[in-house]
Amino acid sequence: NDEQKPLDLSDSTLSYTETEATNSPNVTPGDFSDASTSPDAVKRSHWCNVAYWEHRTRVGRLYTVYEQSVSIFYDLPQGNGFCLGQLNLDNRSETVRRTRSKIGYGILLSKEPDGVWAYNRSEHPIFVNSPTLDIPNCRTLIVRKVMPGYSIKVFDYEKSCLLQHTAELDYADGPYDPNSVRISFAKGWGPCYSRQFITSCPCWLEILLSNNR
């Protein structure tokens, strides 16, 4: 698939101590650094916000991204970014708990010159839906499966501009956000799956891209 590429671990943005993960002790919440609240970050403009959902419930606050790339993970030794493992919710279902345990190193979301890429760093597939991955003027929901170790361009800026000028924005299935990407961990949804809607997925992300490119 031309839209997907293998994960290049030589990239400087991916140089975390993943090889030491099996020998690392459990990391306490204080060992994670949240770049979105640093004084330097506040001075810069953000390029996206990330919301974490469990079925129909949003868990935690919106995570604002200022850096060119951000890790979104459950357990990443000495990792910086959005740690989903720290988000608490009462009475989680067994399905959600099992799916959360599969997030692991999660994804790396990276803003690159040609668009936004998501790198699957977990040991399980991720599933992606995006306005720029859909087939123009096709009402069938397109959900792409990305295997571990691969990445996909989840948002193409140039294609988005063309779509917003030419697409017919009459959607019968509810509100439509041309700058929103949805990513589900481990569980797919849509016409090819038993879950028809992403709100049926146990653990998923909503990437809300800023209009300020």
The two three-digit tokens of residue 171, written as one number: 């959607």
Q: Which DSSP category does 46 fall into?
A: P
Q: Is the dihedral of CA 84, 134, 156, 213 positive or negative?
A: negative
**Helix ranges (DSSP H) in 151-210:** 157-166
Tell me the mean pLDDT in the region 178-207.
Answer: 95
Does position 46 have pLDDT exceeding 80, yes or no?
A: yes
How many of the other CB atoms lie within 10 Å of CB of 193?
Answer: 15
Rounded percentage of the chain residues whose pLDDT exceeds 90: 57
How high does pLDDT run on average in the chain?
A: 80
